[in-house]
Structure 1
């Protein structure tokens, strides 16, 4: 095998992926054209790659898979803060006339997701909403949306999250609210869902202003996170306990739920991303590009000179194409975790999201973390792009589309990544093309 060098001037790259599955191996069949000709296979790793960072104006979070709450300070992305807002509805509108109020408690079931330092104490502040959660337009609420609530806490809890060990946390809620809801239901002032939603707009769960610990996920599943009103009925020999649960209202359209996810005061380069059409070249960011889910920061990749492969004499075909990109050393640790996979999406020239990238419209293409040489700090993401590069070669005209990297469930997490660029001295991000040439013209 011969390596072709110097064919294309190296550029900038900062995104990668790895996978153990070769998506393109099954595509290549050595047919008659190959068997009847002198064929050679070359590895090309000097293709120009343009890498940059973009930021979506907002991310839809009303369909997030979890409740996200917490806050921490990040040396790159600034103060990362997640708050959650939700409407609630009772599972019953009937309370016995002889019943007596007992207490009210908010239960939140941890769903095993967390990001950053869970050894630090975090705070949960429960607020009463003053307005129904509705989008300004359309049917969705976004990470940048705002909610109106009373300043006074309905309840609060300071705790050290144990998302992998604990199950559910309980927060005592103000008895003033408890009696208010109890009386409204018992006295038949509230008899249906519409009346209740008009009377009680919902709750917000906010981190403490000075928290610097972690962002934690809580389950949205029915019966997992809810507010429970306890009351009792006195009988001859005992007091019988009963309760009403106020569940997340997930059946209303639009859904009165969203996670507000913000990052304040990131590094100066990231502050340049004022709208989704702004692009921060890796060359302007110390040869790095960035990814942050929840907020919508994505690493952006283009292959502007891919068609120069046609300058090689003879007919040829792509056998494989692998993009390799390395997380910047020192940018991750046991708190700022590297995930094993990243998703790959396609955006147009205006950075509007077109679709997730799939192999043969079946399997999603992913960036997979290669840890084979982790002990030597040689870890990097690999992305199998054979089919995608082939599409670029066959395209009749330039589309100026690009690939972007975002974490899986980017609307329900706050994962962040700092990735090396193509010209980084520590690890040169590259695209390795395996190209078979046949019917090559003689000198």
Structure 2
């Protein structure tokens, strides 16, 4: 899985509230026995926050551009690095070719993180050298490149939630004329991709620090493209254009984050450095491109064995509550989060599936549109709890939780989970089980 997988200890004391459905006497003439249905509403959930060292963002059809800073996530810069594909063109010796403009075409997706009333400034730099893949032939949000000291141009835009109005940015005419003259002259630099990227390594879209929003942009054959507009002059003048598309194999979103003054300052990369929610004011954090996800365990699950001589799990539902007012018009909740089963060594074994055993659960999201206090995700963990009930140590499985791969690599969607001990709205495991006792 691309990037992931990889939670604070919301250690609330285990509170059991039993609801008995009556004494069912069976074989009373032989053995006095009783069956009971028992419901546990607040079985302790241990949720921790983890940070991925890196996320694979190469080749994605969405990029993020901008700068945003707040008290929770710190200061985040999102940039885009792109190599461009060479374009074939056969000029006519009888015609003249005149530059009109060299223009970048950007199409916002309407996705955003931050204040959409504040303009964002983006500077466009030329790469100093062609983009090189990392050792494993991938590109990540942490991959670094050298760029020229002076930007080719800088532009501003005002994010518009839900709108996909095209943005055009004109690059220097000197660069456009150089392109056109070399193409018309059939210079070797335009004969192959290798030659072209040595001549023109690509572009970097870098946010300036005065911005207050990060916006998603589409990337495809025409979006984020470099367009050379010119006139072909023969008997008559005709307007034409050449399109240089992003070479998706050598393009990626890069992230820089400074959370030294935020609650996340205690979280460093790697699953071995997970931080329990009790060490983070009873909260746990998940976000896409910055790489925060969660680990979950149920440390007191086996205490249920004390409820009877024989205990069988009938149903288990996990409810994870979002901190009230942690999402709004600035921050967007993920609609799809996944649970992954791991062994004691954190080796991934499988997804958590639905009751059909085939459909991957995505954390049924319930949103409290009025007050925001009753917003939560839920998972049916019946099978997982059955498999782990009565196990200890190396036999006990754990859960990792993150957004799906695409959202993790292309969005800043986020959720802050709350697990305040003794509060109604906290991460909890609801278990219904049967007990059998001899009298």
TM-score calculated relative to the size of structure 1:
0.83
Cα deviation for residue 209 of structure 1 reads 2.3
Determine whether 1:334 maps to 2:329.
Answer: yes
- How well do the aligned residues superpose, as a CA RMSD in angstroms? 2.6
Match of 1:41 in 2: 37
Match of 1:198 in 2: 198
CA shift, 1:185, in A, is 1.6
Query: 2 CA distance for matches of 1:378 and 1:101?
Result: 59
CA contact (8 A) 2:50 2:294 kept: yes
Q: Number of matched residues?
A: 404
- Contact 2:11-2:278 at 8 Å conserved across structures: no
Q: For residues 321 and 347 of structure 1, what CA distance do their matches in structure 2 show?
A: 18
Aligned partner of 2:374 in structure 1 is 378
Change (3 A) 1:95 1:116: farther
- Alpha-carbon separation, structure 1, partners of 2:394 and 2:234: 80
Contact 1:101 1:231 in 2 (8 A): yes
Whether the 8 Å contact between 1:12 and 1:283 is mirrored in structure 2 is yes
Output aligned runs, 1:15-414, within 5 Å.
39-97=35-93, 98-189=96-187, 190-212=190-212, 214-236=213-235, 238-250=236-248, 255-267=249-261, 269-276=263-270, 277-347=272-342, 356-359=351-354, 362-371=358-367, 374-375=370-371, 377-393=373-389, 398-399=394-395, 401-408=397-404, 409-414=407-412
Residue 6 of structure 2 corresponds to: none
Residues 59-112 of structure 1 deviation map (CA, whole Å, 9 limit, x = unaligned): 111143411111111211101111010111134243444222221000011223
Structure 1 residues 163 and 174, CA, compared in 2 at 3 Å: closer, same or farther? farther
CA shift in 2, pair 1:259/1:224, >3 Å: same
CA distance change for structure 1 residues 391 and 178 in 2, over 3 Å: closer, same or farther?
Answer: farther
Assess, with a 3 A threshold, how the Cα gap between structure 1 residues 376 and 66 changes in structure 2: closer, same or farther: closer
Structure 2 gap ranges (5+): 1-8, 13-25, 27-32
How far residue 353 of structure 1 moved from its aligned partner, in angstroms, is: 5.7
How far apart are the structure 2 equivalents of 1:339 and 1:345?
A: 17
CA distance in 1, matches of 2:409, 2:307: 43
Shift in alpha-carbon separation, 1:163–1:372, aligned structure 2, 3 A = closer
**Unaligned ranges ≥5, structure 1:** 1-10, 15-32
Mapped contact 2:121–2:210 kept (Cα < 8 A): no
In 2, Cα distance between equivalents of 1:385 and 1:376: 25
Q: Distance in 1 between matches of 2:50 and 2:372?
A: 31
